[in-house]
Amino acid sequence: MDSGWRIVIPLRLSDAKSRLSTQTAPRRRALVVAMALDVLAAATACPSVDEVVLVSDPEGIEAVAAAGLAGARLLDDPGGGLNAAIRAGATSASGPVAALLADVPCATPDALAIALAECTEGPVIVSDAEGLGTTLLAARHVGDLRPRFGPRSRAAHVTDGARDILNTVPGALAGLRRDVDSEVDLWDALRIGAGAFTRSATAHEGGAGHRPTPPS
């Protein structure tokens, strides 16, 4: 089992998922925080991980700190976008380092350990459920961690030399691939098995049995 990983989780609460169009702004904010808390919980509980760094704007740091979830170091976002935030969180890492997005509420410690164990030489990625984006970028050395998150980031990372983890235990990384940008994504995450914080946030939106409407 790998040990010594630093996981960097970038969070921009001020950009709270505008594509979740049926949600009010406060509910979108609450959902973004809940998903980030589930990602933080998975990372801090992963046996391969020694350190978790959340890089966020002041709103995000305040919200995560208020939740009382221990085990992560909170770092101010330096500005300059998602990739700059990841680089700031990875700076000075003495061992292997990975960037994990904050909107992957089905992430589990076991799935994260499986993905990190695949990183034995060059950098690796976990592509998203659509096969266009990236949810995780990992490298054994900080100098090899070259984040290219943004539109079609999978292609950008692969072109830059990262290997997409595809042939692992069947279904083991399904939750780690499910990022949430839309109502359909949220429905799928709840179907797969979102973490406790996300389940609680969605239940509180419309009563204990509320779930987003499934796609037609």
Residue 102 and residue 134: Cα distance in Å, rounded? 12
Residue 103: inside a domain: yes
pLDDT given at position 214: 45
Residue 209: inside a domain: no
Residue 56: inside a domain: yes
Residue 212: inside a domain: no
Q: Which long-range contacts (CB under 8 A, 24 or more apart) does 162-166 make?
A: 162/122, 162/123, 162/124, 162/125, 162/137, 163/118, 163/122, 163/123, 163/124, 163/125, 164/124, 164/125, 164/126, 164/127, 165/115, 165/118, 165/124, 165/125, 165/126
Q: Name the percent of the chain lying above pLDDT 70.
A: 88
Residue 55: inside a domain: yes
Residue 77: inside a domain: yes
The structure tokens listed for 156 are: 């950008």
pLDDT given at position 1: 40
Residue 214: inside a domain: no
The overall average pLDDT reported for the chain is: 90
Residue 25 and residue 129: Cα distance in Å, rounded? 26
Please count the structural domains in the chain.
1
Helix or strand run (H / E) with residue 40 = helix 25-45
Which domain CATH number covers 69?
3.90.550.10
For 78-119, write each residue's pLDDT tens digit: 999 999 999 999 998 999 999 999 999 999 999 999 999 999
**Which residue range(s) make up the domain with 38?**
5-203
Residue 165: inside a domain: yes
For 45-62, write each residue's pLDDT tens digit: 999 999 999 999 999 999
Helix or strand run (H / E) with residue 154 = helix 153-159
For 165-208, write each residue's pLDDT tens digit: 986 776 899 999 999 998 999 999 999 999 999 999 998 654 33
3-class secondary-structure state, position 72:
strand
